[in-house]
Amino acid sequence: MYLFTSEVVSPGHPDKCADIIADSIVDTILTQDPNGRVASEVFVAGKNIIIGGEINSKVKLAFHDYEHIVKEALAHIGYDGKSNFTKEQCLHPDDIEVKVCINQQSSDINQGVDQSGGEIGAGDQGIMFGFASCEAKEFMPAAITYARMLCDKVYKFAKANPDKLGVDIKTQVTIDYGTKDNFESCRPQRIHTIVVSAPCVETMKIEELRALVQNLIDEAGLPKELYDKQNTLIYINPTGRYVNHSSLHDSGLTGRKLIVDSFGGYAPIGGGAQSSKDYTKVDRSGLYAARWIAKNIVAAGLAKKCIVQLSYAIGVAKPTSVSVDTMGTHVAGVDDDKLSKFVSETFPLTPRWITDKFGLDKPGKDTFLYAKVAAKGQVGNAKYPWEKLDAVGIFKALV
């Protein structure tokens, strides 16, 4: 055996609640003011929601606006007071207390970001990594792909059946590659272990809960060639009791689920989170650009897997470095040196170029909302603009 594991959390996990609230603020600002600058961190602890950070915008939000954003976001997640859990067991909307500590963005940063001619300087220095793999149709690693699939299935059931399950859910999938060579060559052999933790109402017996979740696992659409229930270790609420949940029993903070948001531990991650930030912060826009490049390289058949690293200096538009690493899986004649040079020369990769390419200053219901991205994961969803395979032909021309 050669095993690799990734985990996923649902929107109801306290860390994800913080991310979703923070990005609901980003959406509120940018849908009304595309030039708004936002970096709003959120801390969820017990019944308290604390919002801090910096905002520069024509949109002026009052305390009641923030309170409305918080309650609407939590209700959409599933903390709407309609579940069969008591106020001691999970968060209820009428108990929420909101505190707002918002300042303006430093003028020292702003003078380097908004440049003459419409160019955007990087909102911070830092490094970002994008990754892609041929292991699944999403061009994502297998373990996080299937952990997300399971989490989505159980979460959807929980939202539709608040009399049975709560929305604070975790899933975990272990893939057996058989050998290290199979791992390096992106050849998963089987799903070795599945872990699902989902809160259930106190009146539900553990046997009933496990039968319910097992049925959801079987219906989730896991690939038949990898999932065999009889030969998979399956742990459902392994402690035997999971009733108390939400921020009442586990605090949440923006940016604390970077591995869940990205590639499940298969690849390096950058130095900062994406949620809570506008598009000038390259922690967000740089990840999207790097993921787009890596995905198009793999989809073009130039490599089985690919890591793209970008780096930026605060106030400088062009990246300070661009590198491509296909981890020894590239096709003959198109090595990492050639790919790195080609990417650097072909795509400007400035914050303005990335923003215009993916419409990052125009979130909306017809394109994408940052709050939904926070809920689903920053990469791997075909509906996101930065997941488009619109550069495959450009890369194929290298062969």
| pLDDT tens digits along 40-66 | 999 999 999 999 999 999 999 999 999
Answer whether 328's CB lies under 8 Å from 184's CB.
yes
pLDDT at 135: 97
Q: Are strands 3-9 and 233-236 parallel, antiparallel or unpaired?
A: unpaired
pLDDT at 271: 85
Residues 289 and 201 in one domain: no
Model confidence pLDDT, tens digit, residues 223-268: 999 999 999 999 999 999 999 999 999 999 999 999 999 999 999 9
Model confidence pLDDT, tens digit, residues 16-27: 999 999 999 999
The domain in which residue 313 lies consists of 126-133+282-397
Instruction: Read off the amino acid at residue 321.
Output: S
Domain boundary among 244, 271, 291: 244
Residues 157 and 240 in one domain: yes
168: in domain: yes
366: in domain: yes
Residues 236 and 149 in one domain: yes
Domain boundary among 197, 224, 244: 244
Strand order in the sheet with 190-197: 3-9, 170-176, 190-197, 233-236
Give the residue from 132, 155, 105, 111 showing the smallest Cα distance to 277. Answer: 105
Residues 159 and 235 in one domain: yes
Model confidence pLDDT, tens digit, residues 166-222: 999 999 999 999 999 999 999 999 999 999 999 999 999 999 999 999 999 999 999
Confidence of residue 116 (pLDDT cuts 50, 70, 90): low
Over the chain, what is the mean pLDDT? 95
Helix (H, G, I), strand (E, B) or coil at 312: strand
Give the residue from 378, 332, 320 showing the smallest Cα distance to 130. Answer: 378
Residues 217 and 286 in one domain: no
pLDDT at 111: 62
Give the residue from 185, 260, 198 showing the smallest Cα distance to 6. Answer: 260
Exposed / middle / buried, residue 292 (Cβ in 10 Å: 0-12, 13-18, 19+): buried
CA distance 19 to 137: 27
User: Which phi and psi angles does 395 have, rounded to 5°?
Assistant: -75, -35
CA distance 298 to 76: 36
Residues 294 and 358 in one domain: yes
Model confidence pLDDT, tens digit, residues 127-145: 999 999 999 999 999 999 9
Residues 390 and 292 in one domain: yes
Residues 358 and 293 in one domain: yes
48: in domain: no
Residues 287 and 388 in one domain: yes
CA distance 108 to 119: 17
| Whether the predicted pLDDT of 108 surpasses 70 | no
CA distance 157 to 45: 26
Model confidence pLDDT, tens digit, residues 374-392: 999 999 999 999 999 999 9
Model confidence pLDDT, tens digit, residues 61-76: 999 999 999 999 999 9
User: Of all helices (H) and strands (E), which one includes residue 160?
Assistant: helix 142-160
267: in domain: no
265: in domain: no
Strand order in the sheet with 321-325: 126-133, 305-312, 321-325
92: in domain: no
19 alpha carbon, distance to own chain's centre = 9
29: in domain: no
CATH at 192: 3.30.300.10
The predicted model scores a pTM of 0.96
Answer whether 149's CB lies under 8 Å from 222's CB.
yes
Residues 232 and 314 in one domain: no
User: How many domains, in total, are found in the chain?
Assistant: 2
Model confidence pLDDT, tens digit, residues 310-325: 999 999 999 999 999 9
155: in domain: yes
Residues 311 and 382 in one domain: yes
